[in-house]
Homo-oligomer: A and B are copies of this chain.
Amino acid sequence: MHNSQFQSVIQALTACAASCDHCFDACLQEQDVKMMEGCIRLDRDCADICKLTASALARNSSEARSFLQACAEICKACGDECAKHAHMQHCQECAEACRRCEEACRSAVQA
């Protein structure tokens, strides 16, 4: 697997990490932070694994598959949680970024 093949996955991972970091910040500014507990936790998990996976792909790691599988699972969990908050734009945007990233990771695993 060569770096260039992963360019679009890396892009999805980077975008997802940025969305999760932004959502983390926005959730902590909400009036009812207690309600956002699950999002805050998963935003951190998801941003962390997305950045690690992007970095592993960028350096042609032999372990790309293991990173991608974990990343797909965690993106799914974060996207599902964010999707519950239908009236918050930051959560909806994050849910969408997570879905795209999950799909990109699953496609890359099968490639």
Contact = CB atoms under 8 A, between A and B. Distances in A.
Contacts of A17: 55, 58
A10 to B, nearest CB: 7
A85 interface: no
Interface string A45-74: 101110110111011111100110110011
B59 A55 contact: no
Given A51-B55, A55-B47, A40 B42 contact: no
Contacts of A93: none
Contact of A59 (B3, B41, B74, B77): B41
A106 interface: no
Given A63-B73, A70-B69, A41 B58 contact: no
B49 A67 contact: yes
